[in-house]
Amino acid sequence: MRPHLASLVEDLRRNGRQTAIVRYRGVRRHATTYADLATLAGRFSAELNRRGIAHGDRVVLWGENTAEWVAGFFGCLLRGVLAVPLDAAGSPDFAACVIADVAPKLILIDASRAAALQADIPHLSLDDLGSLLPAEPLFTVDPGVTLDAPFQIIFTSGTTAAPKGIVHTNRNVLASLDPIEREMQKYLRYERLFHPLRFLHSLPLSHVFGQFMGLWTPALLAAEVHFEPQLEPARMIDRIRLERISVLIAVPRSLELLRSHVQLLFPDLSAQLAASEGWPVYKRFVRFRRVHRLTGWKFWALISGGATLPPELELFWGRLGYAVIQGYGMTETAALVTLNHPFHVGRGTLGKPLPGREVRISAEGEIMVRGEVVSGATWANGSIQPRASEWLATGDLATQDDSGELR
C-alpha cells in the first residue's frame, strides 16, 4: 500500500506532458497536462505554507470540476490540510453552514459562487488561481501526512439538519485503490494498445464516486479526464465520438437520458436488442454498428454509480455490446465496498467485496461493512468525533450469493 495519497503527485509528475484534464467552457476546449497539474498543485502547496496553513487546518473547495480544483485538492494533500469539498450545485445556505462549522483558513471558490459567499474568510479565485500563487512549487510532503491521517471532510446532510461531515483518512481510500492498482498491473501491456484511455466524467468531485474516477484512478493509467458539466444527451454523444472517449462515468439518470436519445434516433432498436440474447460481444458490435458509429469505436464501457442501476437499463447497454460496470459504496466507505471486474462483468450484480473489507447481510437483509475503508470518525460541532461501532450499518438492502456477489 502507498504511504499516503500525496504520493500520487509524483505520478502526476512522471506522466509529464500527457494530457491530464480537458475542460469545456462554451465552445472552448481547455487542456491541462499532468506536468502542469502537478506544478500547480505544488504551487498551491507553497501558498498554503506561505500563509501558515498547516496540517489539520481546513480549506474549503467550492466550484465546478476544473484542473484548478484538482490542483488545489492535491496541494492540500501535500500539506496535510483537510480539504472540505462542497457540491457545486449546493445552496449558499448549506455552504455557509458548513463553513461556519469547519472554520476554514482559506476558501477556494469560482467566480459564479463568490458573489454568494458571505463569510469573512480569506479566499482565492479558482478562475485565476495560476496567477495568484508563488512561482516555485513545494512538493515536500508534510511529516504529519500518514496512512491514518485525515485528509478530507465530506458533508452529506441537508440544510434541514445540522451538517454532519464524514472524515476520510488516507488509509480509507487506499484500501480501495491498492487492490485496483495491483490488478491493473496485469493489463497494462494491453492498455498501451489503446492509450490514452479517456474518461468522460460527469460527476462532482465533492462526491466519493466522482473522486475515485476523477482524482485517484486516472494518474495510475495516465488517463485523460474530460469534465462535462452539461448532461444534454446529444452533446454527450457528440463529445464521446469527437474526443474518442473510452469510458463514460455517470449516474443511472444520465444513462437513462442517453438511452432515450439513442432510441429516438433508432426506433427499431428495442426489437432488435430483444432478439440478440446470448450473442457474443463481437457479434453485437457488428449488428449494432450504427450505434457504435454514433459513439465512436473507441468507446467501450459505462461505469455507473451513485444510485441503483435499473436492470433493464443495464441490459439495454449490455446488449449493445458495451461493458456496464457497477460497484457499491457510500460516503462512509470512501467509495468502494464491492466492484465488478471490468473484464468479467456479472449481469445484475454489484460485484464482490474488494480485499480488506468484510461484508455481511443482517437478518433484516441490511448490508453491514467492516474494514479499512470505513470512516472511523465524523465532523460535528467543530471537531472530529470518533464513530462508536466498527461495523457500519449502511441502510441498504441486498442479497449475497455463494460466490460473494452482491445484488
Cβ partners under 8 Å of residue 56, min gap 6: 80, 81, 82, 144, 150
Residue 103: predicted pLDDT = 95
pLDDT greater than 90 at residue 157: no
77, 134 in Cβ contact below 8 A? no
Residue 345: predicted pLDDT = 61
Share of the chain above pLDDT 70, in %: 96
Distances (CA, A) of 327 to 93, 276, 376: 32, 26, 22
Quickly state the pLDDT bin for 343 (edges 50, 70, 90). low
Q: What is the largest CA-CA distance in the chain?
A: 65
| Verdict on whether the full-model pTM lies above 0.85 | yes
**Backbone angles phi and psi of 137, in degrees to 5:** -75, 155
For residue 196, cis peptide bond before it (omega within 30 degrees of 0): yes
Sheet holding 82-86, edge to edge: 123-125, 106-109, 58-62, 82-86, 150-155, 165-169, 377-380, 383-386
pLDDT greater than 70 at residue 199: yes
The C-alpha cell that represents 157 in the structure block:
446532510
- Model pLDDT for residues 304-336, shown as the tens digit of each residue: 988 888 999 999 999 999 999 988 889 999 988
Instruction: Determine the average pLDDT of the residues in 79-86.
Output: 98
pLDDT greater than 50 at residue 158: no
- Model pLDDT for residues 37-76, shown as the tens digit of each residue: 999 999 999 999 999 999 999 999 999 999 999 999 999 9
pLDDT greater than 90 at residue 163: no
Q: Is 25 exposed, middle or buried (0-12, 13-18, 19+ CB in 10 A)?
A: exposed
Instruction: Determine the average pLDDT of the residues in 341-365.
Output: 79
pLDDT greater than 70 at residue 201: yes
The C-alpha cell that represents 57 in the structure block:
487546518
- Model pLDDT for residues 375-402, shown as the tens digit of each residue: 999 998 888 999 888 899 999 998 988 8
The C-alpha cell that represents 26 in the structure block:
462554451
Average pLDDT, the chain: 92
Residue 255: predicted pLDDT = 96
